[in-house]
Amino acid sequence: MTDKSKEYQLKRELEKLENMEGEGTELITIYIPPDKNLNDVMDQLRDEYGQAENIKSKSTRKNVQSALDVLMGKLKHFDKPPTKGMVMMAGKISTKGDKSEMKSIILEPPEKINSFRYHCDSNFLTEPLRNLIGTSKKIGLIVLDKREATIGLLKGNNIQSFKHLTSGVPGKTKAGGQSQARFERLRKIAAHEFFKRIASSANSIFKREEDLVGVIIGGPSPTKDKFIKKDLLHHEIEIIDKYDVSYTDEYGLRELVNSASETLEKIESMEQRDAAKNFLKKLVENEGLVTYGEEEVRRALKIGAVDKLLLSSDLRRSRLKIECCNCDFYKEESVDDLEKEKLKNEFSKCPKCSGSVNITEEDVIIELSDKAESMGGDTIVIDSDFEEGEQLKNAFGGIAAILRFKVR
Ligand code: ZN
């Protein structure tokens, strides 16, 4: 499965988890970073188990303790956390008709978990995990003034500092014996040299990073503007935006990211908008380089014609694969939730030999994006909270594609 479809699947999983509720404060979530000693986690869970004795409500006490039992049982199977850490959840969920069931799940985060968390509430704690989604995109960060510069990288909410440079550019007051003009000239040369050093470090750091969207530059005015004007960064590195920040060390990187939060939010939606607009433009051009509708897009995917697959994030369809265990009967169909149950009932046994059948189901977004990826195509999941996105959902069935070549 590709990173993108894994990410999408995790999103859907979180959606489901967010709708779950416990009767009381009894749903437990644990965030475990990769370097955490699991014996310590086990000790803490035992400790929580003991403390749960003090819970007044008998049912809450019982439910918290059984959730902890489930978690400890699962934890036993691990020697150490996976490379990015893990999130464990367990608790009694209220379901329809006053019933409840024990739900437990282990999730692998798309990015590294940084700190340990134990959380017990009437809901599962999904927010920190949500913040790690969609973080495959990287943005370069440079903060600089005349004396100091720091180069870093933003990946999701993680800021990584790569290099710290100092200039040795002399301060504004000149040393005794020098002429003012000579002093100013030396200062200028030193400043230019420093800019060149910053750019050369930045170029070599950012060139290593795949999927770098661009860089954001921070610093006091006019220093950062001068740096940008000198155009020293590699031409493939796009400057997305610039901001005034007052620090130029590691803290400055953080300050820069905070100032740029709006820009950063826009980047994702920009990609969606561009893709949807591009599709509509090509549709009007009528050169046969777009297609839409599930069947048509499937046909284009099959022959590797899809360059960009556009899927509405509101698409709620599953691909059911029905396979007979005895004969050669096989059927595939895309269905919504209502049709799904109907189809499952209809094919409770093989229509050909009455033998038992095996039914598997997969989310259509995941299934199609995997297909696209395996043929070298890109998938963009598009929200419908803007005009073109809504159009994609309503007028084109939520499934469209920009093609590499004409398909008949
Ligand atoms: Zn059969």
CB 53 within 8 A of CB 27: no
Give the whole-angstrom CA distance, residue 20 versus residue 15.
9
Mean pLDDT, all residues of the chain: 90
* Percent of the chain predicted with pLDDT > 90: 66
What is the model's pLDDT at position 62?
Answer: 95
Give the whole-angstrom CA distance, residue 60 versus residue 223.
60
Least confident of 163-167, 197-201, 376-380: 376-380
Question: Distance from the CA of 336 to the center of ligand 1, in angstroms?
Answer: 25
Res. 135: pLDDT tops 60? no
Higher pLDDT, 102 or 138: 102
Give the whole-angstrom CA distance, residue 339 versus residue 361.
13
Question: Distance from the CA of 371 to the center of ligand 1, in angstroms?
Answer: 27
- Region at 14 (left for phi over 0; alpha for psi -120 to 50; beta for the rest): alpha
Distances (CA, A) of 131 to 41, 126, 135, 155, 305: 23, 9, 8, 11, 34
What is the model's pLDDT at position 211?
Answer: 75
Mean pLDDT of 138-143: 94
What is the model's pLDDT at position 174?
Answer: 60
Question: Distance from the CA of 327 to the center of ligand 1, in angstroms?
Answer: 4
- Judged by DSSP in three states, 381 sits in strand
Cα 261 off chain centre by: 16
Cα 280 off chain centre by: 26
- The residues that bridge with 90 in the sheet, in sequence order, are 28, 104
- The residues that bridge with 402 in the sheet, in sequence order, are 290, 308
What is the model's pLDDT at position 175?
Answer: 62
Res. 357: pLDDT tops 80? yes
What is the model's pLDDT at position 267?
Answer: 77
- The HSE-up count of residue 124 (CA atoms within 13 Å, CB side) is 29
- Which sign does the torsion angle of CA 275, 277, 278, 284 carry? positive
Give the whole-angstrom CA distance, residue 203 versus residue 13.
39
Question: Distance from the CA of 356 to the center of ligand 1, in angstroms?
Answer: 7
139, containing H or E segment:
strand 138-144
What is the model's pLDDT at position 210?
Answer: 76
pTM of the model: 0.61
What is the model's pLDDT at position 44?
Answer: 96
Question: Distance from the CA of 328 to the center of ligand 1, in angstroms?
Answer: 6
What is the model's pLDDT at position 1?
Answer: 64
What is the model's pLDDT at position 2?
Answer: 65
Find the Cα–Cα–Cα–Cα dihedral 275, 280, 285, 289, rounded to 10°: 60
Question: Distance from the CA of 359 to the center of ligand 1, in angstroms?
Answer: 13
Question: Distance from the CA of 326 to the center of ligand 1, in angstroms?
Answer: 5
What is the model's pLDDT at position 168?
Answer: 78
263, containing H or E segment:
helix 261-285
Domains of the chain: 3-130 (3.30.960.10), 138-259 (3.30.420.60), 271-403 (3.30.1330.30)
Question: Distance from the CA of 210 to the center of ligand 1, in angstroms?
Answer: 48
What is the model's pLDDT at position 116?
Answer: 94
